[in-house]
Structure 1
Amino acid sequence: MNDNPDTNTSSDTNEPPKPKLMLDHTPGFVHEEYIDQGDIVLFRSTQPDFRLDFQADISWFTEGDPQTALSFYMEPSGNNYWQFTDPDQPSDLANHCGELERWLDDIGAVCEYLQRRYPELPVLEC
């Protein structure tokens, strides 16, 4: 991940400005519609050192009690897990905790921004 230049831009003057993020998130802010799945992806990012994926989206459900909500979730990338074959590997991973902290801080800023951007939508709770 690279340091990110100013990402504080907005094309719609009625929406709050996007947060200034510390890292470059690829793809970052998107608008990917998956209507058949009941989902619009708004933001995606991966933390490569710890192999974590984050996604923010608007989800809706047509079965049961229909609800449209913001969804924020993080999960391991693919089926990744950590298998250590050397006693130094845990310490090597610990050296990347600063990057993980910056990534999580950015994720928090994205969640806060999207809640301000879509105040009418509740946040989905599992």
Structure 2
Amino acid sequence: MTSMTNTSTATRGEAHDTPPESGGVRKPWNPLTPPPLQITHTPGWRLTVQPDPSPTDVTCIVFQTTQPDFGLDFEADVYADGTTSSCICPTGVSPCTSNREGWTPDALADLATATERLQVWLDDCATALQWTIDHTAEISRRLRAGGRTPAQE
């Protein structure tokens, strides 16, 4: 997964990247309102278009999040051709250390206590992916209608 920047533009003062879990409303994508999640994700629900040189390869980045304890990133995307993509991959900071000291018993114990946070994070990723799959047809239709977010239509 590559690092991507937010390419959406707000119109009429509407916030396109306000996460629903923070109480924000994403009017431009209604009725495509993502469900609330258990925890706050950064950046979380995006629903932003990542333009591509080819109109058939336009991508909507639906959801992105990082799980810092275990050094994992998750992303769910929809393409204009109606396909979806999702991945979990290591971030630049991973729990593997290459220093000579290696892990300490305290560091391992701290990581063990983070497993509950990992479980909640994975549950939210599953919710985001299911919502993405359920709305792939509508998102890809909107992408084919010009490769723009509904706010730009």
What TM-score do the two structures reach when normalised by structure 2? 0.60
Counterpart amino acid of 1:33?
Q
CA distance in structure 2 between the partners assigned to 1:117 and 1:68 by the alignment: 10
Summarize the alignment of residues 1-126 of structure 1 with structure 2, pairs less than 5 Å apart. 4-6=21-23, 9=25, 11=27, 12-15=29-32, 17-30=33-46, 31-36=48-53, 38=57, 39-59=59-79, 68-78=82-92, 80-83=94-97, 84-119=102-137
CA distance in structure 2 between the partners assigned to 1:14 and 1:49 by the alignment: 34
Tell me if the contact between 1:6 and 1:21 (Cα under 8 Å) persists in the aligned partners. no
Comparing both structures, which one devotes a greater share of its residues to strand?
Answer: 1
Provide, for residues 67-98 of structure 1, a one-character-per-residue CA deviation record: whole Å limited to 9, x for no partner. Answer: 54111111000263412331232221010011
Q: How many residues align?
A: 110
CA distance in structure 2 between the partners assigned to 1:43 and 1:13 by the alignment: 16
1:41, distance to aligned residue in structure 2 (A): 1.4
Report the aligned-residue RMSD: 2.5
Tell me if the contact between 2:77 and 2:86 (Cα under 8 Å) persists in the aligned partners. yes
1:36 alignment partner, SS class: coil
CA distance in structure 1 between the partners assigned to 2:73 and 2:114 by the alignment: 16
Provide, for residues 38-88 of structure 1, a one-character-per-residue CA deviation record: whole Å limited to 9, x for no partner. Answer: 33311110001111000111246xxxxxx5411111100026341233123
Structure 1 residue ranges without an equivalent (≥5) = 61-66, 122-126
Counterpart amino acid of 2:116?
G
What TM-score do the two structures reach when normalised by structure 1? 0.71
Q: 1:92 to 1:119 in 2, by over 3 A?
A: same
Counterpart amino acid of 1:23?
I
Structure 2 residue ranges without an equivalent (≥5) = 1-20, 141-153
Comparing both structures, which one devotes a greater share of its residues to helix?
Answer: 2
- Give % identity: 28
